[in-house]
Amino acid sequence: MSKTGFIFDLDGVIVDTAKYHYLAWKKLANELGFEFTKEQNELFKGVSRKKCLEILLDIGNIKATQEQFDTWMVEKNEDYLEFIEKMDSSEILPDVPRVLKFLKERNIPMALGSASKNAKPILEKVKLLHYFDSIVDGNSVTKAKPDPEVFLMAAENLKVHPSACVVFEDAVAGIEAANIANMTSIGIGDESILSEAKFNFKDFTEMDADFLEGLLNESV
């Protein structure tokens, strides 16, 4: 079937916000008296803010009251937003604009499907918001990936059948969500980690126009 709707994850696909999430979580961990490594931050990719704090507190072996938990969530996000404030178009990952332009020129409906509650301001900062017909983010969904809710909602908003949708994802849970939604999953990143994806690319520089044409014309 030819593919008529395209859904993009945000962190790890369009921009690398993981490094800012890391710095903000590390600051909180250090304040609470323990270390948080870049390797541990890998567990946080594609995971909701609340779930991330639960994992962080497990790492530090810290029991929190509900009030402390809520305070730390706010504190981490405020620190994260300070980094976001300084973002500009130079932080867009390689060749993302080329792919967005290619699809836009062909009037292909496009959506964002992200766990982040900060997705819209980030897209505004890097000046890519205008490409998207729909933004489905952490504010719109109740179930986290690998639940397919985020992508099914995006398909519905685009008015495209799920089986005619393509999803670009950098997280294992996101690939799983796309597969459960019966969409064409495309892994962006390490192929050995994203092995469940239908197609794999290290990044968008490896994805040529023929491949994209192939998706549109049902020849791949």
Give me the active site residues, please: 9, 11
50 or 106, CB closer to Mg ion?
50
11 or 149, CB closer to ligand B16?
11
Among 14, 20, 108, 170, binds Mg ion (CB under 5 A): 170
CA distance linking residue 205 with residue 44, whole number of Å: 25
CA distance linking residue 106 with residue 25, whole number of Å: 40
Among 4, 7, 8, 11, binds Mg ion (CB under 5 A): 11
Please state the separation of Cα 177 from the chain's center in Å: 12
Among 3, 21, 26, 125, binds ligand B16 (CB under 6 A): 21
Cβ contact 71:109 at 8 Å: no
Q: Does 48 bind ligand B16 (CB under 6 A)?
A: yes
Number of residues that bind Mg ion (CB under 5 A): 6
CA nearest to 112, candidates 91, 143, 138, 89: 138
70 or 218, CB closer to ligand B16?
70
| Residue 116 contact partner, candidates Mg ion, ligand B16, none, CB within 5 to 8 A by sort of partner | ligand B16
CA nearest to 83, candidates 11, 170, 22, 10: 22
Among 4, 5, 6, 10, binds ligand B16 (CB under 6 A): 10
CA nearest to 121, candidates 93, 90, 86, 147: 86
Q: Does 138 bind ligand B16 (CB under 6 A)?
A: yes
CA distance linking residue 179 with residue 146, whole number of Å: 9
Q: Does 12 bind Mg ion (CB under 5 A)?
A: yes
Closest separation in Å from C-beta 217 to ligand B16:
29
Number of residues that bind ligand B16 (CB under 6 A): 21
Range 152-171, binding ligand B16 (CB under 6 A) = 171
Cβ contact 194:33 at 8 Å: no
Closest separation in Å from C-beta 145 to ligand B16:
7
32 or 47, CB closer to ligand B16?
47
Alpha helices in 32-115 (DSSP H): 38-41, 49-59, 66-85, 96-105
Strands (E), 149-214: 165-169, 184-188, 199-201
Question: Where on the chain is the footprint of ligand B16 (CB under 6 A)?
Answer: 9-12, 18, 21, 44-49, 52, 77, 114-118, 138, 171
Question: Where on the chain is the footprint of Mg ion (CB under 5 A)?
Answer: 9, 11-12, 46, 170-171
